């Protein structure tokens, strides 16, 4: 039988109560209304968009606990409920501005150790006291990374260095060693 997730993810999901076709749009809409209605003391509002609502509808209220050892790190349990991020509208707004997109809370990682967020392009992030982390290109990849203990990529304010063009010359006319 082919499944959507690796066994290390599928087993904890099913144990938590997920099954293909699970869809609670009523709960997702309640969360969307709550987030849209919240305004932080600084005037920040939550962005709500289809990618977030779809994750809430399919996985909302699930406490997903890993069942095996992590590949690189200890695996993290996941709870899908955006309301732990309700009072972090500015944090999500700031991250979205830095990424050039909108960002919305989807749940928590660990025992309230990090907030989970999704952007309008479906990419998923973890926000904790040590920084912001990229977990995957979509929720499935992020959930796999968390439950399988894969190393996330740390988001950085500085872009990686750009390599010099192939035809560049170095000091005193020395040529690039790669091109001769």
Q: How far apart are CA 153 and CA 133, in angstroms?
A: 6
Kindly report, residue by residue over 95-104, the tens digit of the pLDDT. 999 999 999 9
Alpha-carbon Rg for the chain, nearest whole angstrom, is 20
Q: Please state, in angstroms and rounded to a whole number, the distance separating the CA atoms of residues 43 and 113.
A: 26
Delimit the domains of the chain by residue range: 7-173
**Looking at residues 118-130, what average pLDDT do you find?**
97
Res. 83: pLDDT tops 90: yes
Q: Which string of DSSP letters, residue by residue, matches 60-125?
A: TT-EE---S--SSS----EEE-SGGGGGGHHHHHHHHHHHTS-EEEEEEETTTTEEEEEETTS-EE
């Amino acid at each position: 039988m082919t499944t959507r997730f690796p066994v290390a993810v599928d087993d904890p999901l099913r144990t938590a109560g997920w099954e293909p076709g699970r869809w609670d749009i009523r709960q997702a809409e309640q969360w969307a209304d709550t987030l849209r209605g919240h305004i932080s003391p600084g005037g920040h509002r939550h962005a709500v968009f289809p990618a977030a609502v779809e994750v809430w509808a399919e996985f909302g209220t699930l406490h997903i606990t890993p069942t095996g050892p992590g590949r690189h790190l200890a695996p993290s349990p996941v709870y899908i409920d955006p309301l732990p991020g309700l009072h972090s509208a500015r944090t999500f707004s700031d991250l979205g501005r830095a990424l050039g997109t909108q960002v919305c809370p989807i749940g928590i990682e660990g025992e309230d150790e990090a907030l989970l967020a999704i952007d309008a392009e479906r990419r998923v992030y973890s926000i904790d006291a040590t920084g912001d982390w990229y977990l995957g290109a979509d929720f499935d990849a992020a959930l796999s990374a968390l439950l399988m203990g894969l190393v996330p990529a740390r988001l950085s304010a500085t872009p990686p260095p750009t390599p010099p063009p192939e035809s560049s010359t170095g000091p005193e006319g020395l040529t690039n060693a790669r091109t001769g």
